[in-house]
Structure 1
Amino acid sequence: MDSVDETARLAHIYPLKFWTDYEDGEGDELRPVDWVTWVKKGTQNGNETTDKVARVKRDDMKWGALKPYYEAWKSKTEAPVNGYPLDAWPGVTAEQARVLKERHVRSVEDLVNSSDADLIKIGLPGIRQIHGRAKAFLEARVSTAPVAKEVAQLREENRVMREELEAAMALLKEATNKPDAPRRGRPPKDDAE
């Protein structure tokens, strides 16, 4: 389960906001300094932590978790979901997905990597069963990935063969629909003679 293992190494945090302040620079100039406030994933009213982005970059785990959000904020776009989006996963209802996203859990991987304490803080009935389904879903995706790849290749080959068959049938139809060329030699004898 490579995707789960990769995200498990990151800090389990979610940024609430980024902003830029200005500090004294050289001379009379002010230099921009980016800041971030984050909370642990799974908490609704958890402790917020605020720090300079430059300091957070020194911590690989925290920076790995915050970097996509920071880059999205800098480029004024929405941050990508890290993993399989909850909205696309059939293992939760729309209401459960909404509650999880309010708790900063945006992907199935985020849910799987939540600790037991974080799961309890989410406050969603049946969260342990949802967590178990999420884990099974990711394991199934990893184990069925080679089969899915082979099926996709077979579908592509089938599509190509279908196109080639249609082209061959069109050529055959064209060849059989040509008017008969005049025959050479003597005409055939009539049976009446």
Structure 2
Amino acid sequence: MNDMSITDDRQVAHIFPLRFWTDFEGTDGAELREVDWVEWTRKGSQNGTTTSDKVIRVQKDPAKWDAIKPYYRAWKEKTEAVIEGYALDAWPGVTAQQAKVLKDRHVLSVEDLANSSEADLVKIGLPGIRLIQQKAKAFLEARKSTAPVAAEVAQLREENKTMREELEAAMQLLKELNEKETSRRGKAPKEDA
């Protein structure tokens, strides 16, 4: 069973942290020290087995640590972990019900789904999950290939907006100059006294 995916030439474990907590260790009257713990499960599992370990030990395994680190940091900062990748809720490739099932199984992003192993897909238990995974992979590939075009379109829109503002300012200035010229011509010449 492959519990890893490759992201940017490094492996990331397909695990999801369920909870973090702090215990205290110390012996023979020594000052107690805080020790952070994590309990995790494999992505895709529903009521599956869990593993608990000291965070310091998990940090020594780069594949596991890469999967757990953002959640651990968010826990330490008392914030909610940011979903890494394209959120399932924003992706039109799944229904709201499918997204809920996937999130209940700790698959939070399109990238999580695309990188899920065959064993993870079986555990998810959604009808047509392999087709949904293929759509996720195609979506990510399309995003990657259209990203430069989208950036160029955004830049052109910004340039267009700037030009429109400059044109409006020039038209306003021209209008003001025309009004001054018209009012100056409309006055009778001054007579010498």
What's the TM-score, normalizing by structure 1?
0.89
Give the counterpart of 1:13 among 9, 15, 27: 15
Alignment of 1:100-119 (within 5 A): 100-119=102-121
2:64 corresponds, among 48, 62, 67, to: 62
CA distance in 2, matches of 1:111, 1:8: 18
Give me the CA root mean square deviation.
Answer: 1.9
Count, aligned residues: 183
Q: Which moved more, 1:24-33 or 1:169-178?
A: 24-33
Distance in 2 separating the partners of 1:118 and 1:8 = 19
TM-aligned CA deviation for residue 185 of structure 1: 10
Report the AA paired with residue 184 of structure 2.
D
Partner of 2:122: 120
Question: What amino acid sits opposite 1:162 in the alignment?
Answer: R
Q: Secondary structure at the match of 1:38?
A: strand
* SS of corresponding position for 1:91: coil
In structure 2, the partner of 1:37 is 39
Identity %: 66
Match of 1:75 among 74, 77, 89: 77
Aligned to 1:180: 184
Q: Using the TM superposition, give the Cα deviation of residue 6 of structure 1 relative to its aligned residue in structure 2, in angstroms.
A: 3.0
Which of 152, 156, 160 lines up with 2:154 in the alignment? 152
Cα offset, 1:145, TM superposition:
0.3
In structure 1, distance between residues paired with 2:125 and 2:9: 23
**Structure 1 residues 66 and 92: CA distance shift in structure 2, 3 A:** same
**Structure 1 residue 184: deviation in Å?**
6.6
Displacement of 1:175 after TM fit?
0.7
8 Å CA contact 1:7–1:113 kept in 2: the answer is no
Deviation >4 Å, runs of 4+ = 181-186
Residues 141 and 128 (structure 1), Cα distance of their counterparts in 2 relative to 1, 3 Å cut? same
CA 1:8–1:113 in 2, change beyond 3 Å: closer, same or farther?
Answer: farther
- C-alpha distance in structure 1 between counterparts of 2:27 and 2:166, whole Å: 68
Deviations 1:38-86 (A, max 9, x none): 0110111222111000000000110111000000001111111111110
Q: Is the 8 A contact 1:43 1:118 kept in 2?
A: yes
